[in-house]
Amino acid sequence: MTDQGRHFTLKNDAGVQLANGGLLEHYELAVCTYGALNENADNAILICHALTGNQFVSGTDPSTGKPGWWSQYVGPGKAIDTNRFFVVGVNNLGGCSGSTGPSSINPATGSAYLNDFPSLRVRDWVATQHWLMTQLNIKKWYAVVGGSLGGMQAMRWCVDFPEAVERCVVIASATSLTAQNIAFNELARSAISKDPRFADGKYASQNTLPEDGLSLARMIGHVTYLSGTGMNAKFGRSLQRGSFELGNSDAVQFEVESYLQYQGAKFATRFDANSYILFTRVLDYFDLGRDFGGDVSKAFTQCDARFLVIGFSTDWRFSAQRSEEITDALIRATRHVSYACIDSEHGHDAFLIANTRYEALLRSFIEGEPKHG
Amino acid sequence: MDNLSPNLQTVVRWIKPNSRVLDLGCGSGTLLSILTEQKNIQGLGLEIDPDNILQCVSKGLSVVEHDLNTGLSRFDDASFDTVIMTQTLQAIERPDLILDEMLRLGKDCIVTFPNFGHWQPRSYLLFKGRMPVSDYLPYSWYDSPNIHFFTVNDFETLLTDKGYRILNKRMVAQKKGIQTQLCQFWPNLFAETAVYHLAKF
């Protein structure tokens, strides 16, 4: 049994005051909900998506025809059980899966925003998600959950709206990106902007698509989401075609090459390049300690939520050490926090992939009743 | 509390209500649960075993995956009221250093450990000529997690060398009766478990 969810769009004509000082006067959020909100409205769980996720957390993602991006963990009987919880997935502002973003029409000009879409920060997403919460008549989230960039939103929720979050699950995330992590994002952005068909972000108005650039950006990103061990286990040195037999001159292609090319090409047709650039910048700008003199624990001091922080052993894009830093900051702030480092060979992608221990922890934390103290 | 071992009952008695407690090697969270219920503590457990961590999370406790042998430098000075370690000191690479750390993180600390000077392991070694194996210390010498064997006297010598203060101590015999009385007079010979409440200087 799967729950295909209820998909709808909500329009906000009051607009949102952005962190960059600007006002986005009108915006729409594309939302997909699973399960039912109970009478007390106290069983709602917000799932925040990562860089390339969307509102289709469970069920089938109509844009790909494949299961929603976190259907491994969200659905009837899953760790986040939609028979019991009302799960809310939302495409973040600036995205390309139905919410207002660079390819939407700017009412002020009558043409698409393209590269003129305002720069965003994680707190802008949280502000718009907070508006969504009020629209859904939810006073307090039973839990806010997110991996990677989603984990940043989950933490930001607890800092900006401490009274609105009961549990917070932060998976394979960080309180700010490292220089190396920003560097990978810059590689991806350069790949896109150097594609002649990107046309300074005006590709849509010129009826072109920077598919080569976007594909390369995805290939770079994809490698950083896997672990060396995992890639060796999956591909090793297997050949897709050709051979090294002496006397044979057929061109050789390794399986890993073919896989990356395929993943890049597939992504380039489904994701918007301006959204990709916008979102990687949101990642780069995030720094939970910035408003608190660089002390993340001060940011957490006002949080009421109970936290579960999870890292993965072979994740190097958001290493387990970064999750331990989150945990230590929460301990310093005397908050309730549990932390586990899950053994997995799947690198950063592990947060999306089936894993018995991860599943059990997530389920126990979500379903467990807190001990008061 | 009744089905709690006598040494853990002692620990519960010594913990101040509403205090902030760190339990090193908290296992499945039995002690933290009771302390939370009875003393309204704000507890945090450190644990390395995945099944134990899961059980703690299921009980709604705060537990952090951590290998005690990597030290406790990630935690701030005086960030807890009391730091507890039950039946784990003998399994730590450097018990002396972890004691220092416990008294750095906490205002005081409580340690329980198996007394290797108890007459049973002594006579086992004396008469059998082999390292003691019992219900209480059930491991063989080669697979035992217990890498330091020490007695109540050894421990008190360490405390004297360090200059740590004993706020309270209790010697526990597994069986009630004569042994309970004996272990008050000859703790090094009759205590199976020793429970110490310590502070700095």
Location of each CATH 3.40.50.1820 domain in chain A: 6-178+286-367
Q: Which of B57, B73, B77 to mutate to test the interface with A (most CBs of A within 10 A)?
A: B57
- Higher per-residue pLDDT: A236 or B178: A236
B142 touches B108 (CB < 8 A) = no
Q: How far apart are the first and last CA of chain B?
A: 32
Distance, CA of A13 to CA of A131 (rounded, Å):
11
**Domain span at B31:** 6-115+147-200
Q: Tell me what pLDDT residue B2 has.
A: 59
Per DSSP, chain A holds a count of helices (H) and strands (E) of: 10, 16
- Higher per-residue pLDDT: A25 or B180: A25
Tokens of B15: 């913990």
Q: Considering only CA atoms, which of A281, A273, A272, A222 is closest in space to residue A97?
A: A272
**pLDDT (tens digit, 9 = 90+) per residue, A241-273?**
999 999 888 899 999 999 999 999 999 999 999
What CA–CA distances, in Å, run from A342 to A168, A323, A353?
A: 18, 11, 12
What CA–CA distances, in Å, run from B17 to A101, B22, B85, B166?
A: 53, 14, 18, 20
Return all residues near A320 (Cβ < 8 A) that are at least 6 apart.
A311, A312, A313, A341
Contacts of A312 in chain B (CB under 8 A): none
CATH number at residue B186: 3.40.50.150
Contacts of A305 in chain B (CB under 8 A): none
Q: Tell me what pLDDT residue B154 has.
A: 95
Distance, CA of A76 to CA of A163 (rounded, Å):
28
Tokens of A247: 């006397």
Q: Does B12 touch chain A (CB under 8 A)?
A: no
Number of compact structural domains in chain B:
1
Instruction: Please calculate the CA angle A282-A285-A289 and round it to the nearest 5 degrees.
Output: 125
Q: Tell me what pLDDT residue A371 has.
A: 65
> Quick check: ipTM above 0.85?
yes
Q: Does the beta-carbon distance from B59 to A332 stay under 8 Å?
A: no
Q: Does the beta-carbon distance from B36 to A372 stay under 8 Å?
A: yes
String of b and e for A232-253 (b: at least 16 CB within 10 Å)? eeebeeebeeeeeeeeeeeeee
Tokens of B3: 């089905």
Contacts of A337 in chain B (CB under 8 A): 44, 62, 64
Location of each CATH 1.10.1740.110 domain in chain A: 182-280
Residue B50 Cα, gap to closest chain A Cα (Å): 8
pLDDT at A234 over 80: yes
Specify whether A222 is catalytic.
Answer: no
> Minimal Cα distance from B59: which residue of A?
A368
Residue B44 Cα, gap to closest chain A Cα (Å): 8
Is B129 inside any structural domain?
no
**pLDDT (tens digit, 9 = 90+) per residue, A51-72?**
999 999 999 999 889 999 999 9
Q: Tell me what pLDDT residue A274 has.
A: 98
Residue appearing with tokens 């999370």: B57
**pLDDT (tens digit, 9 = 90+) per residue, A140-149?**
999 999 999 9
B193 backbone dihedrals φ, ψ, rounded to 5°: -125, 140
A126 touches A85 (CB < 8 A) = no
Q: Does the beta-carbon distance from B65 to A341 stay under 8 Å?
A: yes
Quote the radius of gyration of chain A (alpha carbons, Å).
21
Residue B73 Cα, gap to closest chain A Cα (Å): 11
Distance, CA of B187 to CA of B119 (rounded, Å):
10
Q: Does B62 touch chain A (CB under 8 A)?
A: yes
Q: How far apart are the first and last CA of chain A?
A: 39
Cα of A155 vs its chain's centroid, Å: 13
Q: Tell me what pLDDT residue A11 has.
A: 98
Distance, CA of A90 to CA of A9 (rounded, Å):
9
Of B42, B57, B65, the CB nearest to A365: B57
Specify whether A315 is catalytic.
Answer: yes
Is B138 inside any structural domain?
no
DSSP states of A73-98 as a string?
TEETTSSEETTT-EEEEEPPTT-SSS
Is B126 inside any structural domain?
no
**pLDDT (tens digit, 9 = 90+) per residue, A82-129?**
999 999 999 999 999 999 999 999 999 999 999 999 999 999 999 999
One digit per residue, pLDDT tens: chain B, 201 residues?
A: 557 888 899 999 999 999 999 999 999 999 999 999 999 999 999 999 999 999 999 999 999 999 999 999 999 999 999 999 999 999 999 999 999 999 999 999 999 999 988 888 888 888 999 888 887 778 888 998 889 989 999 999 999 999 999 999 999 887 777 777 888 888 888 888 999 999 997
CATH of domain A6-178+286-367: 3.40.50.1820
Tokens of B55: 């059980």
- Asked if the A182-280 domain carries CATH number 1.10.645.10, the reply is no
pLDDT at A373 over 90: no
Residue A350 Cα, gap to closest chain B Cα (Å): 17
Handedness of CA A151, A157, A159, A163 (dihedral sign): negative
Of B35, B58, B75, the CB nearest to A368: B58
Return all residues near A251 (Cβ < 8 A) that are at least 6 apart.
A241, A242
Distance, CA of B122 to CA of B116 (rounded, Å):
8
Distance, CA of A124 to CA of A265 (rounded, Å):
31
Q: Which of A166, A169, A364, A369 to mutate to test the interface with B (most CBs of B within 10 A)?
A: A364
Q: Is A301 exposed, middle or buried (0-12, 13-18, 19+ CB in 10 A)?
A: middle
Specify whether A130 is catalytic.
Answer: no
- Higher per-residue pLDDT: A184 or B129: A184
Is B124 inside any structural domain?
no
